[in-house]
């Protein structure tokens, strides 16, 4: 199971465990993750745009205080967005700097001489710059870095703080060079699930480090003086870096990752050694997936209304879905309920996307809707509705229940026959003994098959 | 999909920390979990007893409440309580109409734990026999009438 994601409890093992509360406050109470496009309800509680829209379509109540609320009253919470962006940008750095307990180092595979040489090299030529670059003057850092470079791929699941993986270098680069870029990166990677609709490689080219993903720096033997590419984090010869970075920006993949070697000194190279790349010139990653944020005007214009189930005709629902390019089955195959649910989910996705800092294109959203629906269908929790439902097994398991019910029914019929004056006695057994304080009225009468559907 | 994500997160937290008297019995997948709860004070009804709760999550969790019931297993009984039927079905508004997505497994366990702690009556809900005989196992299909605020 992948537990490789940021969690407030990460802070408990640091010297400032109180940050846990701060991080919890910056997390949506519905999905328990960092806010994605935070919006505030009219009662003042903040949630992810999509989460609260889903909640409100189920019950028109604020999940926290149960006050009645409506989607139309949701307002974007820019302050929370800003705080969150700054927090996520420095989170890794803080966590590394504040950590007390040090995990046992993995067995060192390199020769001690090589190790020593690297240390000397580092201290001789870029130590000062390094201090400038990083606020953390933690003396454990070196060990950590060594660890992450020696076992970059496996570091993900092996420790209790799995996030400390090899993307350090690229993330540091990002947060250092352009906090603006880091903001976009960090806040959008949670809920977008880019890997569902896109391959990892496409994203690598787009300078979007994914939180909680295993490292993407290839495991290779150490050589000297390599420079991390500011875009993809791969290590390159200083002479090659310019052309490599240009290729990265253009979205082309690096020819062969195996040529790129990991090196302890390289990841701490000063900004001076990096090629002069202006991040503002970098095109939006995977332009087919994302688009520029919506303006307020556009939002007002494009916002979809929820509509009313009874007042909306089935044909209209189909029409609206088809207009958006969403799959609808041939008429009659799907119930009005099913297509209505799809339209509601689409409305939620669409409206939440309007609030996003990094909105997706319509096609990407449609794809997301389809993926999530397929996913839900493949894992239907209800046993009875499932096509694979083991009828015989069910029958065996519930045999006594069926028999009891048959016996019950027979008894009732007998009673009816015998006692003419109590013709409705059988039915009354349920209601006559109805408890005075707490009652359970049951929907539908019949076999368990009906109950469970 | 969001259900899985959220459950993973919860499971991760549960493995890190759980309040006293609450433990995880099994959570091998993301659809059914079993949690053990224990009443910590000296309530004679539940002293030294461990009870097992079963959580069934739908794909709409946490928008939709989980189905929470007590289960009978080897050596584990259904606790005596005026709101718990002898087949394990729990009558608790939190699990029905008052469910809110901000609740989680831990908070539900704590609510049920405190519901047991504060109970002094050694009895089943009225109409327990009928209810159990009717074989309704899934709390989702039951419209409880929550009218007792004393417990």
Pairing between strand A38-40 and A227-228? Answer: unpaired
Whether the predicted pLDDT of B116 surpasses 70: yes
> Residue A171 belongs to what H/E stretch?
helix A168-177
Q: Which of residues 262-291 of A touch B (CB under 8 A)?
A: none
Residue that has been written with the tokens 């004393």 in this structure: B150
**Has residue B38 been placed in a domain?**
yes
Residue B43 lies in domain = 2-126
Looking at per-residue confidence, does B98 or A188 come out higher? B98
- Sheet containing B67-71: give its strands across: B22-26, B32-38, B50-56, B67-71
Contacts for A157-160: CB closer than 8 Å, 24+ residues apart? A157/A2, A157/A3, A157/A4, A158/A106, A159/A103, A160/A13, A160/A103
Give the model confidence (pLDDT) of A409-420 as tens digits.
888 888 888 876
Q: What is the pLDDT of residue B106?
A: 93
Among B17, B101, B145, the residue with its CB nearest the CB of A439 is B145
> What does the alpha-carbon distance between residue A250 and residue A255 come to, in Å, rounded to a whole number?
13
B34: closest CA of chain A, how far (Å):
16
**Tokens in use for A2?**
């992948």
Q: Which residue of B has its CA nearest to A54?
A: B63
As a whole-number percent, the residues of chain A with pLDDT over 90 amount to 8
The answer to whether the CB of A32 falls within 8 A of the CB of A65 is no
**Has residue B90 been placed in a domain?**
yes
Q: What is the pLDDT of residue A13?
A: 82
In order, the DSSP letters of A62-129 are -TTT--B--GGG-EE-HHHHHHHHHHHHHHHHHHHHHB-S-PPPPPP-S-HHHHHHHHHHHHHHSHHH
**Has residue B97 been placed in a domain?**
yes
Whether the predicted pLDDT of A218 surpasses 50: no
Q: What is the pLDDT of residue A137?
A: 42
A430 touching chain B per CB within 8 A: yes
Q: Is A395 exposed, middle or buried (0-12, 13-18, 19+ CB in 10 A)?
A: exposed
Residue that has been written with the tokens 């109590």 in this structure: A422
> What does the alpha-carbon distance between residue A417 and residue A390 come to, in Å, rounded to a whole number?
38
B31: closest CA of chain A, how far (Å):
8
**Has residue B22 been placed in a domain?**
yes
Among B31, B57, B126, the residue with its CB nearest the CB of A436 is B126
Q: Can you give the residue ranges of every domain in chain A?
A: 9-14+83-281, 296-378, 391-452
Residues B59, A380: C-beta atoms closer than 8 Å: yes
**Has residue B48 been placed in a domain?**
yes
Give buried/exposed letters for A239-261 (b at 16+ CB in 10 A, else e). ebbbebbebbbeeeebeebeebb
Q: What is the pLDDT of residue A446?
A: 39
pLDDT confidence bin for A287, thresholds 50/70/90: low
Mean pLDDT is lowest, of A81-90, A138-147, B50-59, for A138-147
Report the candidate in B81, B75, B85, B79 with the shortest Cα–Cα distance to residue B25.
B75
- DSSP bridge pairs for A311: none
Contacts of residue A370, defined as CB under 8 A and 6 or more positions apart, other chains included, come to A326, A327
B55: closest CA of chain A, how far (Å):
12
> What does the alpha-carbon distance between residue A38 and residue A188 come to, in Å, rounded to a whole number?
12
Report the candidate in A6, A2, A37 with the shortest Cα–Cα distance to residue A19.
A6
Contacts of residue A265, defined as CB under 8 A and 6 or more positions apart, other chains included, come to A118, A121, A122, A126, A224, A225
> What does the alpha-carbon distance between residue A238 and residue A149 come to, in Å, rounded to a whole number?
19
Query: Across the A/B interface, how many CB contacts are shorter than 8 Å?
Result: 130
The CATH number of the domain where B59 resides is what?
A: 3.10.110.10
B109 tagged catalytic: no
> What does the alpha-carbon distance between residue B6 and residue B15 come to, in Å, rounded to a whole number?
14
Whether the predicted pLDDT of A78 surpasses 80: yes
Give the model confidence (pLDDT) of A103-150 as tens digits.
555 555 544 444 444 444 444 444 444 444 444 444 444 444 444 444
The catalytic residue among B27, B65, B91, B116 is: B91
Number of domain units in chain B:
1
**Has residue B79 been placed in a domain?**
yes
Contacts of residue A17, defined as CB under 8 A and 6 or more positions apart, other chains included, come to A11
Report the candidate in A311, A377, A384 with the shortest Cα–Cα distance to residue A342.
A377
Instruction: Give A433's DSSP letter.
Output: T
Whether the predicted pLDDT of A391 surpasses 90: no
Contacts of residue A227, defined as CB under 8 A and 6 or more positions apart, other chains included, come to A235, A236, A237, A238, A241, A266, A269, A273, A274, A275
Please provide the distance, in angstroms rounded to a whole number, between the alpha carbons at the two ends of chain A. Answer: 30
């Amino acid at each position: 199971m992948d537990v490789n994601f940021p969690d407030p409890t990460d802070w408990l093992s640091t010297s400032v465990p109180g940050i846990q509360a701060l991080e919890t406050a910056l997390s949506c109470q519905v999905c328990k993750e960092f806010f994605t496009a935070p919006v505030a309800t009219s009662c003042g509680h903040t949630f992810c745009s999509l989460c609260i829209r889903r909640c409100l379509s189920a019950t028109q109540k604020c999940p926290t205080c149960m006050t009645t609320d409506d989607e139309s009253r949701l307002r974007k919470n820019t302050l929370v967005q800003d705080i969150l962006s700054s927090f996520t940008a420095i989170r890794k750095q803080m966590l590394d700097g504040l950590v007390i307990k040090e995990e046992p180092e993995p067995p060192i595979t390199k020769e001690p001489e090589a190790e020593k040489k690297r240390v000397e090299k580092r201290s001789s030529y870029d130590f000062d710059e390094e201090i400038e670059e990083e606020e953390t003057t933690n003396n454990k850092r070196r060990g950590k870095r060594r660890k992450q470079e020696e076992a970059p791929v496996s570091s993900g699941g092996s420790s209790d703080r799995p996030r400390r993986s090899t993307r350090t270098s690229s993330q540091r680069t990002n947060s250092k060079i352009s906090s603006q870029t880091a903001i976009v990166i960090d806040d959008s990677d949670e809920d977008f699930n880019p890997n569902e609709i896109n391959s990892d490689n496409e994203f690598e080219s787009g300078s979007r480090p994914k939180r909680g993903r295993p490292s993407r720096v290839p495991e290779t033997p150490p050589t000297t003086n390599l420079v991390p590419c500011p875009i993809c984090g791969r290590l390159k010869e200083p002479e090659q870096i310019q052309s490599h970075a240009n290729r990265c920006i253009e979205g082309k993949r690096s020819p062969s990752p195996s040529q790129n070697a990991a090196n302890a000194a390289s990841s701490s190279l000063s900004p001076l050694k990096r090629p002069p790349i202006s991040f503002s010139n970098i095109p939006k990653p995977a332009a087919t997936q994302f688009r520029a944020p919506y303006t307020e005007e556009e939002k007002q214009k494009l916002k979809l209304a929820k509509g009313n189930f009874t007042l909306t005709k089935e044909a209209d629902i189909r029409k609206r879905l088809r207009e958006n390019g969403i799959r609808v089955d041939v008429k009659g195959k799907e119930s009005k309920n099913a297509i209505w649910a799809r339209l509601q989910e689409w409305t939620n996705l669409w409206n939440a996307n309007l609030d996003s800092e990094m909105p997706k294109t319509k096609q990407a959203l449609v794809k997301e809707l389809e993926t999530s629906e397929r996913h839900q269908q493949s894992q239907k929790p209800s046993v009875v509705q499932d096509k694979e439902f083991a009828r015989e097994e069910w029958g065996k398991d519930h045999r006594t229940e069926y028999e009891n019910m048959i016996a019950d029914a027979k008894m009732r019929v007998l009673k009816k026959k015998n006692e003419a004056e109590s013709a409705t006695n059988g039915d009354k057994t349920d209601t006559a003994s109805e408890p005075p304080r707490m009652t359970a009225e049951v929907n539908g009468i019949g076999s368990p098959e009906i109950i469970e559907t | 999909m969001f259900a899985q994500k959220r459950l993973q997160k919860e499971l991760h937290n549960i493995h890190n920390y759980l309040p006293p008297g609450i433990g995880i019995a099994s959570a091998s997948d993301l659809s059914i979990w079993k949690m053990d709860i224990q009443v910590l004070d000296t309530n004679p009804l539940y002293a030294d007893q461990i009870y097992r709760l079963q959580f069934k999550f739908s794909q709409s969790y946490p928008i939709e409440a989980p189905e929470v019931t007590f289960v009978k297993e080897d050596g584990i009984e259904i606790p005596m309580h005026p709101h718990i039927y002898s087949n394990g079905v729990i009558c608790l508004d939190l699990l029905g109409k008052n469910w809110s997505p901000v609740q989680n497994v831990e908070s539900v366990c704590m609510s049920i734990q405190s519901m047991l702690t504060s109970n002094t009556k050694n009895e089943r809900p009225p109409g327990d026999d009928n209810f159990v005989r009717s074989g309704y196992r899934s709390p989702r299909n039951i419209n409880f009438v929550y009218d007792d605020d004393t417990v």
